[in-house]
């Protein structure tokens, strides 16, 4: 298995990555590897360092030490917009919608940031189709439910044609039906891009997950399938407990 995996292209790598806040080692010497076309979930208890690690990848935080390499480029100290310009789609927990504009217009704005206006128009239509947003495309986004707004944000990410997508808690606050639809959208995105998804909702992780990385106290506790993690004693102790 490991020999086979080694042949795939590495698209995200961290080496000895650390992010300290005063005496708190939020991320502590993390070596992480993501291969092309992977869909990787990051889980772990509150305060385990998932969001901090995520922010070191997206350029929202500058690591204390160590390196982040994205498709061969050292992005350790790069800003978020520089990382996005490499073809990385980022959805943080901070909403990113233009409230007075329609779904169409929001997605078009995102596509137009990187493409000429003709290509942006065709990408907007393709994205609306792919992400199944046709029935709401003319609505202004402030008329939408929480779940719908999240899907529009995913559409904005997709419209930039990223080859890597980074999502922090895409199903937070969603109903079961909304979560299930979000899982389908993420699988659709994964047909064209690799993803790293930070998430708490175990049902959601089971719907989408292939390989899962468990964080604990700033470090990687284990990496495996959700099935194997559910059976692992240490993973159960630190995190899963009743959630499994």
Query: Contact residues for ligand ATP (CB under 6 A)?
Result: 21, 24, 26, 44, 46-52
Smallest separation (angstroms) from ligand ATP to the CB of 51: 3
Smallest separation (angstroms) from ligand ATP to the CB of 55: 8
**DSSP state letter for 140:** B
Please tell me the distance from the alpha carbon of residue 73 to that of residue 83, in angstroms, as a whole number.
Answer: 10
Indicate the length of the chain as a whole number.
244
Output Rg (C-alpha) for the chain, integer angstroms: 18
Residue 57, number of CB atoms within 10 A of its CB: 23
Contact criterion met (CB below 8 Å) for 209 and 225: yes
Please tell me whether residue 150 binds Mg ion under the rule CB under 5 A.
no
The residue among 51 and 75 lying less far from ligand ATP, judged by its C-beta, is 51
The residue among 92 and 132 lying less far from Mg ion, judged by its C-beta, is 92
> Which of ligand ATP, Mg ion, none lies near 26, with the C-beta cut-off 5 to 8 A by kind?
ligand ATP
How far the first Cα of the chain sits from its last, in Å, is 26
The residue among 26 and 185 lying less far from ligand ATP, judged by its C-beta, is 26
The residue among 137 and 243 lying less far from ligand ATP, judged by its C-beta, is 243
Q: Is 22 helix (H, G, I), strand (E, B) or coil?
A: coil
Please tell me the distance from the alpha carbon of residue 224 to that of residue 233, in angstroms, as a whole number.
Answer: 13
> Which of Mg ion, ligand ATP, none lies near 46, with the C-beta cut-off 5 to 8 A by kind?
ligand ATP
Number of residues that bind Mg ion (CB under 5 A): 1
The residue among 52 and 58 lying less far from ligand ATP, judged by its C-beta, is 52
Contact criterion met (CB below 8 Å) for 180 and 131: no
Determine whether 160 is exposed, middle or buried from the number of CB atoms within 10 Å of its CB (0-12, 13-18, 19+): buried
Smallest separation (angstroms) from Mg ion to the CB of 230: 21
Q: Is 200 helix (H, G, I), strand (E, B) or coil?
A: coil
The residue among 24 and 77 lying less far from ligand ATP, judged by its C-beta, is 24
Please tell me the distance from the alpha carbon of residue 244 to that of residue 235, in angstroms, as a whole number.
Answer: 10
Q: Is 21 helix (H, G, I), strand (E, B) or coil?
A: strand
Smallest separation (angstroms) from Mg ion to the CB of 21: 14
> Which of Mg ion, ligand ATP, none lies near 52, with the C-beta cut-off 5 to 8 A by kind?
ligand ATP
* Close Cβ partners of 143 (under 8 Å, ≥ 6 residues apart): none
Smallest separation (angstroms) from ligand ATP to the CB of 122: 37
Smallest separation (angstroms) from ligand ATP to the CB of 52: 3
> Which of ligand ATP, Mg ion, none lies near 43, with the C-beta cut-off 5 to 8 A by kind?
none
Residue ranges in 13-72 that form contacts with Mg ion under rule CB under 5 A: 51
Binding site for Mg ion (CB under 5 A): 51
């Amino acid at each position: 298995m490991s020999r086979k995996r080694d042949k795939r292209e590495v698209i995200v790598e961290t080496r000895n990555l650390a992010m300290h806040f005063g005496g708190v080692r939020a991320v502590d010497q993390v070596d992480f590897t993501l291969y092309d076309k992977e869909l990787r979930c990051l889980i772990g208890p509150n305060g385990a360092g998932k969001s901090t690690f995520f922010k070191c990848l997206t350029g929202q935080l500058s690591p204390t030490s160590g390196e982040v390499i994205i498709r061969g480029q050292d992005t350790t100290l790069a800003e978020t917009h520089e990382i996005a310009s490499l073809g990385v789609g980022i959805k943080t927990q901070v909403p990113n919608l233009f409230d007075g504009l329609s779904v169409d217009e929001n997605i078009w704005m995102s596509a137009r940031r990187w493409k000429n206006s003709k290509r942006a128009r065709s990408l907007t239509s393709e994205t609306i189709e792919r992400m199944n947003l046709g029935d709401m495309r003319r609505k202004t986004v402030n008329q939408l439910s929480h779940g719908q707004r999240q899907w529009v944000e995913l559409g904005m990410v997709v419209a930039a044609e990223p080859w890597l997508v980074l999502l922090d808690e895409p199903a937070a606050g969603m109903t079961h039906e909304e979560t299930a639809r979000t899982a389908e959208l993420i699988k659709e995105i994964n047909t064209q891009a690799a993803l790293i998804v930070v998430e708490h909702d175990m049902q959601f992780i089971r719907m989408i997950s292939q390989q899962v990385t468990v964080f604990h106290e700033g470090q990687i506790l284990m990496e495996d399938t959700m099935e194997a993690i559910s059976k692992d004693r240490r993973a159960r102790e630190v995190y899963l407990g009743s959630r499994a």
